[in-house]
Amino acid sequence: DAGVIQSPRHEVTEMGQEVTLRCKPISGHNSLFWYRQTMMRGLELLIYFNNNVPIDDSGMPEDRFSAKMPNASFSTLKIQPSEPRDSAVYFCASSLTGGARNTEAFFGQGTRLTVV
């Protein structure tokens, strides 16, 4: 498996524009996580899905952020409109959970977002 795949790797956009980050989890994993990492706040959990269903989105900073998981192999994180304070590295991670099974979270390489 190629691991968790995120795109784009880098995104530079102007304030007010819509930004869409994409993630393909590891095949067979049933949990997917979106994290945001900054120097000031570290690694923050934004939202996680289990079996394509959003379980906890309490980490989503505000209504400008939304996430979807239309199927088991794809998720998006959208920011509309974007603001300079959204600049960060956004990581997607996936894991296999359920019953006695519980793997570690495998991370994608991240999307470095810069909003100017």
Partner 1 sequence: EDKVVQSPLSLVVHEGDTVTLNCSYEVTNFRSLLWYKQEKKAPTFLFMLTSSGIEKKSGRLSSILDKKELFSILNITATQTGDSAVYLCAVVGNYGQNFVFGPGTRLSVLP
- Binding residues for partner 1 (CB under 8 A): 31, 33, 35, 42-43, 45, 48, 50, 55-56, 91, 93, 95, 97-98, 101-102, 104-110
Least distance (Å) from partner 1 to the CB of residue 25?
A: 14
Rg (CA), the chain: 14
- Least Å from the CB of residue 89 to partner 1: 9
The nearer residue to partner 1, 64 or 96, going by C-beta atoms, is 96
CB-count exposure of residue 92 (10 Å: 0-12, 13-18, 19+): buried
Nearer to partner 1, 16 or 98 (CB): 98
For residues 116 and 63, give the distance between their C-alpha atoms in angstroms, rounded to a whole number: 20
We find the least distance from the C-beta atom of residue 96 to partner 1, in angstroms, to be 9
> Percentages helix, strand, coil for the chain, rounded to the nearest 5?
5, 55, 40
Smallest gap from residue 48 Cβ to partner 1 (A):
6
Query: Measured from the CB atom, is 68 or 81 closer to partner 1?
Result: 68
